[in-house]
Amino acid sequence: MAIADITIIPIGTESPSVSSYVSEIHQVLSQYNHKVKYRLTPMSTIIEGELADLFEVIQTLHEVPFKHGCMRVATNIRIDDRRDQESTMESKMLAVENKLNTVEK
């Protein structure tokens, strides 16, 4: 299982706010909840799933701003594809939290 951190940036919009685009992107993303898990963060979206599914979903999400009138979109993608053991969003967070709890005691 792989984890991707994606940021889709519509360029040349009439407003500096992009929350309406983020909302539209997440509406489309919710249609893939049978293939991927995801989490919205203040600066990006984290998606977890099989690598091929991630690429399919990311390509679909990249198209959303174009369908809403944007003429240019920049998409940043960072992928963590660990193959020596299963890695999930939750397991990565838990590993850090466990280390923090050890340090704090």
Mean pLDDT value across the chain: 94
Number of domains the chain is built from: 1
93: helix, strand or coil: helix
84-98 pLDDT tens trace: 988 899 988 999 999
Cα separation, 4 vs 77, in Å, equals: 7
Parent domain of 32: 2-104
Q: Count the alpha carbons within 13 Å of 41 in the hemisphere toward its beta carbon.
A: 11
Question: Would you give the DSSP letter of residue 35?
Answer: T
| CATH code: domain of residue 9 | 3.30.70.930
27-47 pLDDT tens trace: 999 999 999 999 999 999 999
Question: Would you give the DSSP letter of residue 83?
Answer: -
For the full predicted model, state whether its pTM sits above 0.85.
yes
Phi, psi of 73 (to 5 degrees): -140, 135
